[in-house]
Amino acid sequence: MRKIRRLWFLTMGTLSLLSGLIGIIVPILPTTPFIILAAFCFGKASPRLHHWLITNRYFGRYIADYQQGKGVPVKIKIGAVCLVWTSVVFSLFFIPLSAIKVMMIGIAIFVTIFIFTSPLLKEKQDVYQESAANQVPAKISK
């Protein structure tokens, strides 16, 4: 049973990674959720593949920050939401079925809410300024 579970997670991780990579080129597919899903699946199935993914020089830092609860940079959040809505609005012109249009708008709303309610990664300068502002200067003795 453990082999079947491991194979399932490896397959889902590989499919998610491929979908995320295709999403870099095809604007309708979101890249980030698929890459995060791949990291989750690889984390369950293969520590080696999980380590490779989170140490990847292109998107590994974002996955590691997300998994550690540090959040996502505001630039990526805004870019993701703009891309989702651009893709949905563009697709609405070519899809004839109203039910699918409503479903796409619903998914876009859900994704937007998820993106904006997920933690925001604070910039390193902001963290430094906050920690410096919270420090109490030592008393100077005369």
- The answer to whether the predicted template modeling score (pTM) of the entire model surpasses 0.85 is no
Q: What is the CA radius of gyration of the chain?
A: 20
Q: Do residues 120 and 72 touch, judged by C-beta distance below 8 A? A: yes
Q: What is the pLDDT of residues 6-51, one digit of tens each?
A: 999 999 999 989 988 887 787 667 777 788 888 889 999 999 998 8
For residue 124, the one-letter residue type is K
Q: How confident is the model at residue 136 (pLDDT cuts 50, 70, 90)?
A: very low
All residues at 6 or more sequence positions from 123 whose CB lies less than 8 Å from its CB, including other chains: 73
pLDDT exceeds cutoff 50 at 131:
no
